[in-house]
Each structure stands twice: as structure tokens, then as C-alpha cells.
């Protein structure tokens, strides 16, 4: 039987298989090269506003998880300001205004907490997320009508818990529903601090 006598559905099936083979070839051969080429021209980057928006949601989710696990300390973020690369340094500065509440002895102890910290951005390839590590305290205030003038021990404990929380809360996580970020998720990445932005750089594999 020659090809001209084959039923039309056979040709359709072969056509679909050919398209699938071509698609897989593109994904595994051309796509990595395309990602590297694009990244070398215009690295994908995130602004301070994008980090602030994501961090608001991440802190709220983290706080809910901690409360469900029985943590006595809860936080409600009032305002956040993120500065990337101040004075040309490879750091990110976070300023946070928070309402903190310590649930102890069948009562809730409210407090207003201001915190300014800086740290180094770190990309976790397994989590596909950006974290701030090596936190350093720049400035802080803690106010509450329940505390006396001497609140240093309480303040230090609260600041320590907040710093620990921030190191476990990503300031950004790559979104698989975003085509550009989905492409980045397939490659090994580093991040670079530039004034006002963090840029993703693909690690070349030689």
C-alpha cells in the first residue's frame, strides 16, 4: 500500500506526532539557549515595589501559619518600605511598621513595632524564591501601654523573633504562571543587586 492510499486520519496522527517531537526539541534544545541569550541582553529584574507587594502577602501568610501552630506572637503589617542597593552596596534595606501582639496568660498584649534592618539577598534554587539573609538591625522602636520605661529585654526578644521571621519569609517567589519567570525556573540562577532592582542572572554551565 502506497502513501497516497493511506486514510486521512493516519496522516493527521503522524502530523500530531511530528508537532509534538518538534515542540519537545524546542523545549530541550532551543529554549535553554534562548533563556541564556535573553538574560545576557536584558536580565529579568524586580523593583522595590514588586518586592514590597509580595512581602506583604508573604508576612500575612506566615503569621497565619504561626498562629495555627500555636505561636504566642502575632504580627499585623501596617507599612513596609524596601530599598535595594542603597549607596551602591549589595544589600536590601527593609523598614517595617507593625502591630505586634503577645498572647500570654489568657490576655493579648498589644504593641507598636518599628524595625529597620538590612541584609543580603539570596536566591534559593530549590524554593525558587528570594530571601534576605544575614540580617543586621539598623534602628528599632517598641511602644506599648503595657510596658514600663524599661523595655529593652522585651524589645530585644521581639526584634529577634521578627528578624528570624524575615529570614524565613521570601521577599519574592518566581511565578510559574508568568512565562518569563517560568523560563527562569528551568535554569540555575544567581541574583545581582543594582540600584533600585535585583536582577536574575543565569549561571553559565561550561
CA dist list (Å): 7 to 12, 66, 123: 9, 63, 54
Confidence at residue 184, expressed as pLDDT on a 0 to 100 scale: 83
C-alpha cell at 80: 513596609
Structural domains in the chain, sorted by start? 45-173 (3.15.10.40)
Quick check: 63 and 75 in contact, CB under 8 A? Answer: yes
Residues in the chain: 206
Confidence at residue 110, expressed as pLDDT on a 0 to 100 scale: 73
Instruction: Give the residue from 142, 143, 91, 98 showing the smallest Cα distance to 117.
Output: 91
Pairing of strands 45-47, 73-84: unpaired
Confidence at residue 201, expressed as pLDDT on a 0 to 100 scale: 86
pTM comes to: 0.70
Quick check: 82 and 96 in contact, CB under 8 A? Answer: no
Beta-strand ranges (E) seen in 18-62 are 45-47
Quick check: 101 and 72 in contact, CB under 8 A? Answer: no
Question: pLDDT per residue over 73-103, tens digit each?
Answer: 777 888 999 999 998 899 999 998 888 776 6
Residue 132 DSSP label: E
d(CA 140, CA 126): 33
Distance of CA 116 to the CA centre of its chain: 19
Confidence at residue 7, expressed as pLDDT on a 0 to 100 scale: 53
Confidence at residue 16, expressed as pLDDT on a 0 to 100 scale: 61
Confidence at residue 50, expressed as pLDDT on a 0 to 100 scale: 92
Confidence at residue 11, expressed as pLDDT on a 0 to 100 scale: 45
Residue spans of the chain under pLDDT 50: 2-3, 6, 9-11, 25-30, 36, 38-42, 106, 149-150
Amino acid at each position: 500500500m502506497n502513501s497516497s492510499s493511506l486514510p486521512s486520519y493516519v496522516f493527521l496522527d503522524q502530523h500530531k506526532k511530528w508537532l509534538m517531537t518538534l515542540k519537545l526539541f524546542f523545549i530541550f534544545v532551543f529554549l535553554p539557549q534562548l533563556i541564556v541569550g535573553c538574560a545576557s541582553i536584558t536580565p529579568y529584574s524586580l523593583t522595590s515595589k514588586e518586592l514590597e507587594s509580595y512581602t506583604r502577602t508573604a508576612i500575612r501568610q506566615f503569621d497565619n501559619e504561626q498562629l495555627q501552630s500555636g505561636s504566642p506572637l502575632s504580627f499585623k503589617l501596617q507599612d513596609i518600605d524596601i530599598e535595594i542597593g542603597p549607596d551602591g552596596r549589595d544589600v536590601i534595606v527593609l523598614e517595617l511598621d507593625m502591630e505586634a501582639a503577645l498572647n500570654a496568660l489568657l490576655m493579648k498584649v498589644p504593641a507598636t513595632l518599628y524595625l529597620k534592618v538590612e541584609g543580603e539577598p539570596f536566591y534559593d534554587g530549590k524554593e525558587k524564591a528570594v530571601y534576605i539573609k544575614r540580617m543586621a538591625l539598623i534602628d528599632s522602636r517598641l511602644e506599648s501601654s503595657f510596658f514600663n520605661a524599661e523595655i529593652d529585654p522585651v524589645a530585644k526578644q521581639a526584634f529577634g523573633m521578627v528578624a528570624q521571621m524575615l529570614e524565613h519569609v521570601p521577599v519574592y517567589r518566581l511565578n510559574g504562571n508568568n512565562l518569563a519567570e517560568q523560563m527562569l525556573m528551568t535554569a540555575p540562577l544567581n541574583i545581582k543587586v543594582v540600584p533600585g532592582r535585583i536582577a536574575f542572572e543565569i549561571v553559565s554551565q561550561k
